[in-house]
């Protein structure tokens, strides 16, 4: 599914086309998403988009009456197109802009979402989220303290949105490999020194993915329809049985939390 870098790339892609634009019409072609699309979303109609923000993997289009919350689910994408361009299959939500363009949410599996947040409120989906990974709040000492006495594998620990948001499966695999930490090691047994290595690596890995346009996944495309390119540089994810880039030993794969986990048994301890 689209991970934080892909969502951030989407935010960067749509912002020049959407920010400060008046939404002349909201079209909900299919309200049956992961949760029913509330009628409150129509409040954006006739108003100017004053902000385009991201919180974890949620995008927020702000206006004076509140914010539309968008989530791409497992296969969704956002496209900015001419408003008169014919709808594609699975184009469920559409925001027509005064510029003559339209922002469309396309989601084949309908695991995405389009919700509403009133001014001064925090939607229940956002209330328990941990810090953003590229901020100073995501710090090694804080993560180390949270990890004490935790027996959960380190990979699942750093993927917990209460610890830090947006470290999905791909980037957890990559970061742990770069840090030389075995994905099954108990989070509570990872030392402060190793967290001091891991946290900057997570930041660098996510930042690199954002810079290079997001990971190319089966269903992901940027707002202009072009895929990302970071997948070409993945070191372990999706490379089961291939040689480790460091020691040349075949990479192994296990399941952790029902997610594919690829690692090097020689380099990661």
What distance in Å separates the CA atoms of residue 234 and residue 72, rounded to the nearest whole number? 22
Selection from 122, 123, 206 nearest residue 168 by Cα: 206
Beta strand ranges found along the chain (DSSP E):
23-28, 51-55, 58-63, 66-71, 77-82, 91-97, 101-106, 113-117, 252-256, 259-263
The answer to whether 57 is a known catalytic residue is: yes
The answer to whether 3 is a known catalytic residue is: yes
Beta strand ranges found along 141-258 (DSSP E):
252-256
The secondary structure element, H or E, covering residue 68 is: strand 66-71
What distance in Å separates the CA atoms of residue 173 and residue 158, rounded to the nearest whole number? 10
The answer to whether 205 touches 171, Cβ cutoff 8 Å, is: yes
Q: What is the DSSP annotation of 193-205?
A: HHHHHHHHHHHHH
Tokens representing residue 175 in the block: 């970061």
User: Residue 109, annotated ligand binder?
Assistant: yes
User: Residue 29, annotated ligand binder?
Assistant: no
Q: Of 54, 55, 57, 101, which one is the catalytic site residue?
A: 57
User: Residue 92, annotated ligand binder?
Assistant: no
What distance in Å separates the CA atoms of residue 165 and residue 7, rounded to the nearest whole number? 12
The answer to whether 44 touches 73, Cβ cutoff 8 Å, is: no
The answer to whether 26 touches 92, Cβ cutoff 8 Å, is: no
- Supply φ then ψ for residue 95, to 5 degrees: -115, 110
Tokens representing residue 185 in the block: 């090691």
Q: Of 48, 110, 203, 259, which one is the catalytic site residue?
A: 259
Known binding residues for DNA: 90, 109, 150
Known binding residues: 90, 109, 150
Show which residues are catalytic.
2-3, 57, 259
């Amino acid at each position: 599914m689209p991970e934080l870098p892909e969502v951030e790339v989407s935010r960067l892609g749509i912002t020049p086309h959407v920010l400060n634009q008046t939404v002349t019409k909201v079209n909900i072609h299919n309200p049956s998403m992961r949760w029913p699309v509330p009628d409150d979303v129509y409040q954006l109609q006739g108003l100017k988009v004053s902000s385009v923000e991201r919180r974890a993997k949620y995008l927020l289009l702000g206006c004076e009456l509140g914010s539309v919350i968008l989530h791409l689910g497992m296969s969704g994408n956002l496209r900015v197109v001419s408003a008169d361009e014919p709808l594609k299959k699975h184009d469920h939500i559409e925001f027509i802009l005064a510029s003559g363009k339209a922002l469309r949410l396309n989601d084949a599996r309908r695991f995405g979402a389009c919700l509403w947040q009133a001014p001064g409120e925090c939607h229940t989906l956002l209330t328990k989220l941990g810090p953003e990974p590229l901020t100073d709040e995501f710090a090694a000492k804080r993560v180390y303290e949270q990890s004490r006495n935790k027996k959960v594998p380190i990979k699942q620990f750093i993927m917990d949105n209460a610890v830090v948001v947006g470290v999905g499966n791909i980037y957890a695999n990559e970061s742990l490999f770069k840090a030389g930490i075995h994905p099954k090691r108990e989070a509570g047994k990872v030392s402060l020194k190793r967290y001091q290595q891991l946290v900057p690596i997570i930041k660098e890995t996510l930042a690199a993915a954002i810079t290079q346009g997001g990971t190319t996944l089966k269903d992901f495309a940027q707002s202009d329809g072009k895929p990302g390119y970071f997948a070409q540089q993945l070191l372990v994810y999706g490379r089961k049985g291939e040689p480790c880039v460091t020691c040349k030993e075949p990479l192994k794969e296990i399941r952790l939390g029902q997610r594919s986990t690829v690692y090097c048994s020689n380099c990661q301890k």
